[in-house]
Amino acid sequence: MSERSEPGGAEGRPPTDDTRGTRRARVAAGVAAAVLFAGVGAVLALTTPWNPLPGHVPGGHVRADPALDFSPAEIARSRAFDSAVNPPAYAGLLAGLAVILVLGLTPLGARLIARVTARTRRRPLRVVLAVLALTTVLRLAGLPFDVWSESVLRRYGLSTQSWPAWLVDQLKSLGVTWVLYAIALLLLYALMRRFPRYWWTGAAAGGFVLVVLVSFIYPVAVEPVFNKFHSLEQGRLRSDLLAMAERDGVPVKDVLVADASRRTTALNAYVSGFGSTRRIVLYDTLLKSPRPQIESIVGHELGHAKRDDVLWGTLVGALGIAGALCLLYLLMTSPRLLRRAGADPDGGPDEAPGEPGPGGGRGAADPRTIALLLALVTAGTQLAAPVQNLVSRRIEARADAHALNLTRDPATFVSMQHALSVRNISDLSPDALEYLLWMSHPSGPDRIAMARDWARMNGAPVPPPPRR
């Protein structure tokens, strides 16, 4: 039984110049997406350290075994914490996905946007209001699970924040989301409106530049919103760390300390930015640790800096975003998908410039499609997470190997990893799903086993299990 053609539809008619032009644009976007994703795959395949510790290990690789280095009480505490923190994590993930997919793949999102933008006819303001409404709804949907997770952290002594301070951080995070999303979508929907067939070209180029720009300015523009930083005070520790960086050939002019203790008891350090904004940051909670352990952790961060991991990650992310925006064009110009999301693929007659009618635009350029766009972006991000985590674990393992090569002290590395795992109540035996969804770093036992492999390979004493 054939479908009946709608009045004015294209079914049963010879393709028009407009239809042929749209098809050519879709083919070009598909080819560009394939080329960009192939480039991402090639870069990852060639640059990811799939074997972070190459070479023969005399006696074979050491097996990761939590029972060898962690007491029964420590293992039991890790399992109990994992059992307590996983339910809000999984429930929050599922709830967030369910809300955005329902809003994006049904007319509910379009109706919500139409309602919150009904009082304005200015297109940029409609886009901003849609962003504010949708991101706020998503944050509110996840808030109960965030509260649940924070309660678990408090119960286990990992969070030191008061509830008012925690709420302020949530509001800050939402504000940053508003700003970033509003800027990105204002630019994107302006391109959609101005270049309905080839907006994907400008979007891909703009997305690439935006990712690089955000990575560059994030350390100086966003991180200070959540933490206060100061230079590590003059003294032996500062001198030793800077000397180690110089010996490693990594240009580091300063080491910063973040006031993490007002939020957590966890131990951590990280490197962010690149070029003039590259910085190594220590949590102030880490400063009470033995100096050799701090040096081992900083050696790990110097490994990231020396390999330009942030820069390479930024470039891969920028290429991935460019490819995703080309793919997004194919999805956002699908008449079936637009109808499912409550938007008119044709958009009706053009409105006067600056005065959108009830539909707000033509096809994908209609601000009511923002819910669909966010749903597609969220789904794509979630699908990419396992690959990102896999690559990240290999890069982190390479940084561990760098720290071992730099300090030549596997015993301190093992004691440091034990201390980090116990203090942060890390998962000592992650299951396959946790590796896929959450694990961006190797587990503590994996890192300890690697240190023992390094000791065997380099003729150093193999660190024994800690005394209990």
Which residues on neighbouring strands pair with residue 280, listed in sequence order?
255, 271
Query: Could you give the CA distance from residue 113 to residue 423 in angstroms, rounded to a whole number?
Result: 45
User: Which residue has tokens 């789904």?
Assistant: 379
Q: What is the pLDDT of residue 271?
A: 80
Same domain, 301 and 312: no
Residues 6+ apart with CB under 8 A from 254: 231, 232, 279
Please tell me the predicted confidence (pLDDT) of residue 217: 87
Choose among 374, 380, 372: nearest CA to 339: 372
For residue 261, the domain's CATH number is 3.30.2010.10
Rounded Cα gap, residues 262 and 159, in angstroms:
9
288 and 223 within one domain: no
Q: What is the pLDDT of residue 22?
A: 83
Asked whether residue 169 falls in the same domain as residue 250, the answer is: no
Q: Which of 253, 288, 278, 256 is nearest to 269 (CA)?
A: 256
How many domains does the chain fold into?
2
Q: Are residues 215 and 339 in the same domain?
A: yes
The pLDDT value given to residue 468: 55
Tokens 């966890």 belong to: 266
CA angle 88, 91, 95 (to 5 degrees): 130
- Residue 7 region, left (φ>0) first, then alpha (ψ -120 to 50), else beta? beta
Assess whether 320 and 284 both reside in one domain. no
Does 283 map to a domain?
yes
- 175 and 292 both lie in a single domain: no
* Residue 182 identity (one-letter amino acid): A
pLDDT of residue 14: 57
Residues 93 and 238 in one domain: no
357 domain residue, yes or no: no
Indicate the SS3 state at residue 353.
coil
Rounded mean pLDDT for each run of 10 residues along the chain, 468 residues in total: 41 61 91 96 94 94 96 97 97 97 97 95 95 97 98 96 95 95 96 94 95 87 89 91 90 87 90 74 93 94 92 93 96 93 67 38 85 96 96 97 96 96 96 95 97 97 83
Smallest CA-to-CA distance from 254 within 242, 243, 246 is with 242
Q: Tell me whether residue 3 is in a domain.
A: no
Residues 299 and 415 in one domain: no
With CA atoms as reference, report the closest residue to 330 among 111, 15, 120, 22: 22
Do 270 and 184 fall within a single domain? no
* 313 shares its domain with 201: yes
Tokens of 439: 């694990």
Element (H, E) at 355: none
Q: Which domain holds residue 444?
A: 20-50+61-227+306-343+362-457
Q: Does residue 13 sit within a domain?
A: no
**What pLDDT does residue 171 have?**
96
Tell whether 27 and 143 lie within a shared domain: yes
Query: What pLDDT shows up at residue 220?
Result: 82
144 and 267 fall within a common domain: no
At residue 264, what are phi and psi to the nearest 5 degrees? -150, 160
CA separation for the pair 98, 166 (Å, rounded) = 25
Ramachandran quadrant class, 117 (left: phi over 0; alpha: psi -120 to 50; beta: rest)? alpha
